[in-house]
């Protein structure tokens, strides 16, 4: 999740609502920077709970692994700690029209366009969601456990990251560091799917070093995740087909709710046969709408193709990163088609750019 990068924006901004948004972004980022504490000092402090000490002591090892084994940046990020007074570090707002899966995009100078709008304040995020909902949009507000400023600042570990078990914590850390390694402007779906892919690859490698129990948990969880998200994306595609028909809007709305009912039923069947303990129950049983599906799509839709590109790169991460960086001048449509093909289509070319050497 990208928030603090907005601090670097010094171009002219007009409009009260826009100024208010940048103000909360800057204030929130500055508050986090001001609250950073040295992790080693916290580990040595007698008042730090033993469980917290153990979590913080694991961070240097994870950062070394990320640098040495995943070729991720080692730039001073995630070496300090911030204890939050709220459950998440930030909240993302996703929105779509009621009968469309084309998400609202928010654009900023320098930072580019995003398929979500991030807030450090939950109240501000829900206020924005309320405005969008009042204008007829489907809206989803999701809490964010970790975030990155793309290397503009030395990002801290925040307490919301530590609620995860050690596999999920490592995944969060690798995800955010991956954003610092590669970020393509105006492409939320590829950026987030890339970071998720690197996290999957990284945690798989890490679990191998931790032993059979962690490795088994990794494989079980990865399989459950893939099955669940494939189910959600399949129903998202069915909704897209529905919205493209010429049926009256009222009928489309009825069928939309029927589709969500079928998604819940399919999930219960999937869970019964997969051994999943119900990690997705709350997400699925509360307020299903287009925007919620869009949030899943942003992180997962391109991931299968990216994993294929990684495999075809001889599972060499530097080669994988290089292939994706070459997409930066291509159109978004061409990028996504190439990724969905697993890299089997000819590499897309920006206008005026020569084809790659054979």
- In angstroms, the Cα distances linking 271 to 19, 282, 285, 294, 320 are 45, 13, 13, 22, 33
pLDDT at residue number 180: 96
Whole-angstrom Cα distance, residue 88 to residue 3?
Answer: 13
Q: For residue 10, what are its two tokens?
A: 């010094």
Specify the DSSP class assigned to residue 159. G
pLDDT at residue number 346: 84
Taking 80 as the threshold, does the pLDDT of residue 146 lie above it? yes
Terminal CA-to-CA distance of the chain, rounded, Å? Answer: 37
Other beta carbons within 10 Å of 12:
6
Q: Where are the alpha helices (H) located in 186-248, listed in sequence order?
A: 188-210, 212-243
Helices (H) and strands (E) in the chain, counts: 13, 8
Q: For residue 52, what are its two tokens?
A: 């917290």
pLDDT at residue number 357: 41
| Contact (Cβ atoms closer than 8 angstroms) between residue 39 and residue 79 | yes
Q: Which residues contact 158 (CB under 8 A, 6 or more apart)?
A: 32, 81, 82, 84, 89, 145, 146, 147
pLDDT at residue number 15: 44
Whole-angstrom Cα distance, residue 175 to residue 199?
Answer: 5
Instruction: Encode pLDDT of 20-74 as tens digits.
Output: 888 888 899 999 999 999 999 999 999 999 999 999 999 999 999 999 999 999 9
Average pLDDT over all residues of the chain? 91
Specify the DSSP class assigned to residue 348. P
Beta pairing class for 106-108 and 112-114 = antiparallel
Of 300 and 276, the structure prediction assigns the larger pLDDT to 300
Specify the DSSP class assigned to residue 130. H
3 state SS of 173? helix
How open is the CA angle 196-278-138, to the nearest 5 degrees? 65
Whole-angstrom Cα distance, residue 13 to residue 249?
Answer: 38
Residue with tokens 């975030």: 147
Provide DSSP, 36-90.
-EEHHHHHH-TTS-HHHHHHHHHHHHHHHHHHHHH----SSTTSEEE--SSSSSE
Of 12 and 326, the structure prediction assigns the larger pLDDT to 326
Instruction: Encode pLDDT of 307-321 as tens digits.
Output: 999 999 999 999 999
Beta strands in the chain (DSSP E): 37-38, 80-82, 90-97, 106-108, 112-114, 117-119, 137-144, 157-158
Whole-angstrom Cα distance, residue 345 to residue 312?
Answer: 13
- Chain centroid to Cα 38, Å, comes to 27
Beta pairing class for 117-119 and 90-97 = antiparallel
Instruction: Encode pLDDT of 229-258 as tens digits.
Output: 999 999 999 999 999 999 999 999 999 999
| Contact (Cβ atoms closer than 8 angstroms) between residue 142 and residue 68 | no
- Cβ-in-10-Å burial (0-12, 13-18, 19+) of 59 comes to buried
């Amino acid at each position: 999740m990208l928030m603090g990068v907005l601090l670097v924006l010094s171009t002219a901004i007009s409009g009260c609502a826009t100024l208010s948004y940048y103000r909360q972004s800057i204030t929130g980022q500055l508050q986090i920077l001001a609250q950073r504490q040295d992790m080693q000092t916290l580990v040595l402090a007698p008042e730090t709970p033993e469980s917290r000490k153990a979590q913080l002591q694991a961070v240097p090892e994870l950062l070394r692994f990320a640098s040495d084994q995943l070729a991720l940046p080692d730039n001073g990020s995630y070496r300090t700690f911030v204890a939050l007074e709220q459950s998440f570090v930030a909240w993302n707002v996703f929105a779509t029209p009621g009968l469309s899966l084309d998400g609202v995009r928010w654009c900023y100078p320098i930072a580019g366009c995003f398929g979500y709008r991030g807030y450090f304040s939950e109240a501000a995020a829900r206020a924005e969601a309320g405005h969008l909902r009042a204008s007829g949009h489907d809206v989803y507000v999701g809490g964010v456990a970790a975030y990155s400023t793309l290397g503009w600042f030395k990002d801290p570990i925040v307490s919301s990251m530590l609620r995860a078990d050690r596999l999920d914590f490592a995944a969060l850390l690798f995800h955010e560091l991956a954003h610092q390694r590669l970020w393509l402007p105006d492409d939320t779906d590829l950026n987030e799917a890339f970071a998720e892919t690197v996290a999957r690859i990284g945690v798989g490698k890490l679990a191998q070093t931790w032993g059979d129990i962690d490795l088994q948990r990794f494989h079980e969880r990865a399989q459950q995740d893939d099955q669940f998200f494939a189910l959600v994306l399949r129903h998202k595609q069915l909704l897209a087909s529905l919205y493209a028909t010429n049926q009256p809007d009222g009928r489309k709305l009825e069928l939309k709710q029927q589709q969500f009912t079928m998604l819940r039923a399919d999930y219960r069947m999937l869970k019964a046969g997969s051994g999943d303990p119900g990690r997705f129950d709350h997400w699925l049983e509360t307020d299903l709408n287009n925007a919620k599906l869009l949030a899943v799509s942003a992180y997962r839709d391109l991931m299968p193709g990216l994993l294929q590109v990684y495999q075809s790169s001889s599972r060499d991460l530097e080669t994988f990163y290089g292939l994706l960086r070459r997409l930066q001048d291509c159109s978004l449509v061409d990028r996504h088609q190439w990724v969905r093909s697993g890299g089997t289509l000819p590499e897309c070319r920006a206008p005026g750019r020569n084809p790659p050497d054979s």
